[in-house]
Structure 1
Amino acid sequence: MSLIPYGKQNISEDDIAAVVAALRSDFLTQGPIVPEFEKTVAAYCGTNHAVAVNSATSALHIACIALGLGPGDLVWTSPITFVASANCARYCGADVDFVDIDPRTYNMSAASLADKLAKAKASGRLPKVVIPVHLSGQSCEMQAIHALSQQYGFRIVEDASHAIGGSYQGDKVGSCRYSDIAVFSFHPVKIITTGEGGMAVTNDLELAKHMARLRSHGITRYPSEMTHPPHGSWYYQQIELGFNYRMTDIQAALGMSQMRRLDDFVAQRHAIAQRYDDLLKDSVATTPWQHPDSHSALHLYVIRLKLGAMKTTHREVFERMRAEGIGVNLHYIPVYRQPYYAQMGFRPEDFPQAERYYAEAITLPIFPGLTDIQQGEVLRRLLTPSGYQTIF
């Protein structure tokens, strides 16, 4: 039985040719293709600067450092995300807390954020950085979050790992209209891929220069950033402790080629999602709600099971579908439930919406190239035990 995965890359002959051309070029890394890829993504998003790195996790890490995050500081993020959204703060020695999710979008709730900020101000410890996560590719309510940042003085990093190709209020996600930095992922299951890879985009030149140094050992070749005049044209200085987070030209070549199909990828995802919406209407599943301000990139298609109507359990549905060749997934286990974070004293009852979501959510397959036959099989395996097979 062949597995229908929840997501997968879509590689064309043009993509392969672009990678082969990079392999035959003079530069496999630190060459001209990475800057070209950065300019392409920045132009697409309508932002001024982009810094390509080897993963979105690395991009989140250097974004936090560039914003001055350190020991004693506090970061707030969503509990329904991959652990990297919180881990980036811990890498800097900062503390982490979570803001409960909106029951419709499953993103960080702007109302819960406002309430938590008011209480934090009264207690005397506000976050230095807030990291909203654009779950499934749908933007958070960034205008409201930005307004709160102006009121309470925190910086914003958009974890847009799922969301390249999406829009918010008519601007592309990554425009940084309402944030300091936005971060994309180019993992194979994401909207476009570089194999592994990520990127931070910003409108702030100093933040961009700082992140560019951090991705390459904290080294600069710009005399204006050095502590004394260079000894010669060969000279460079390490002016801070950085990392080896560089993206290769091979990866960037794939990314450049994939960018040519980005809008088509998103359109295909919307067509698949619309068919799911239509066929799951009035069924035992709640389909994703889309905020009118947002045009999602639809990295994920997450349903919530009406378990009472199904007369089964969340686990039984998940394991049955996996056993029948449908690669469903669950995005995500609330981060505060992970043993590393649970030991910090987080209480699940403090995040009621996240808990309800976790008890009901399942991610169905969605990716360019998913056929109608495959999609029908996904739905048949989901719905047949509940007596809904007649929709086919």
Structure 2
Amino acid sequence: MTVSALTRPGERDRLIVKLGEIDWIFCLTLTLIAGAGGTMLFSIAGSSWMPWAAPHLARYFVFFGIMIVLSLVDLRVWFALAYPIYGIAFLLLIAVDLVGRTSLGAQRWLQLGPVGIQPSEIMKIGLVLALARFYHGLSGKNAQLSWWLLIPGGLILAPVGLVAKQPDLGTAMLILMTGGVVMILAGLSWRLIASGVLGAVLLVPPAIMFGLHDYQRKRILTFLDPEGDPSGSGYHILQSKIALGSGGLLGKGYGLGSQSQLNFLPEKQTDFIFATLAEEFGFVGCVSVLLLYAAVIFMALRTAYISHSHFGRLAAAGVTVTFALYVLINGSMVMGLAPVVGVPMPLLSYGGTVMLTVMVGFGLVQAVRVHRYSEVTSGKGALM
């Protein structure tokens, strides 16, 4: 479909045209990552589809369908729903604090009948949408340095505080970094960026000493010296490093990873599945999967670049930043370059909540691509 054809009245609204505008190479790349996850989950279950591989793949294809449907939603509808989605997510976070279900020492879930939801995952999408809408109606000068910036600061810090209280430090940090990057992409002054970085560095030591729970502080100390308690708090990182190192260049072979197959590697199906991949497929396998992740990030950022609306650019970029942070944090954690914070590798790890968040986010990215010529209008000011 040529650009000239897309300019004909009503042409862009045809379903067949919208489906043709979806980036199917992007979709194929996502499917390859999810397929790699299913392959690894089949292996670590002893060459069995249950309990992980079959549900993982079934969820992916259901969520893939949701992504395609969301990609057909007009960008103006996403724009109109931006603040409501953020507001609903924020109210659900408050509800978690009041009546949330506690699991593994953390109060992160709401039980709605037979369905459990994690509002912090909804907030990841809601925050990106709210910030994109806010900056869409803000001038470049005010986006650099003005009192208006107190509003996006509040939009970011309010959910970060609620999520950190659950406690879920990993998700809180991910939301904080996503919001910060969106503000930078919107044109934040470099003076404010430098001041923020300096302030964060100065606040880290007192925050670690006085602002964290004991187990969170222990994770950081373990990250600095995992050999100090090799059979206790340092066990996860050390076993992950053993799996990474033992894979070598080409790996031990599919289904032959001793760390995962003999259950030495903890959380092998979720947080540490990348270490399992490294042990069985080695350096080559890891680089291959990372290249797939890099391709997804590149194509999503390119979609943000070609959007004609500021809202579309920031929304697509914000979703991509969230995805990239998942990969960066999990990869660093598995290699011992960051504390263990419970952030999974997206689409590769087992788990439906994060996969749904990622696929809904990419539904938004594809909606930006399909409707990249749409003119999203708003009045001036933060609340317009």
Fold shared by both chains (TM-score > 0.5): no
- Structure with the bigger RCO (C-alpha within 8 Å, sep 6+) is 2
User: As a proportion of its length, which structure holds more strand?
Assistant: 1
User: As a proportion of its length, which structure holds more helix?
Assistant: 2
TM-score of the pair, normalised by structure 2: 0.29
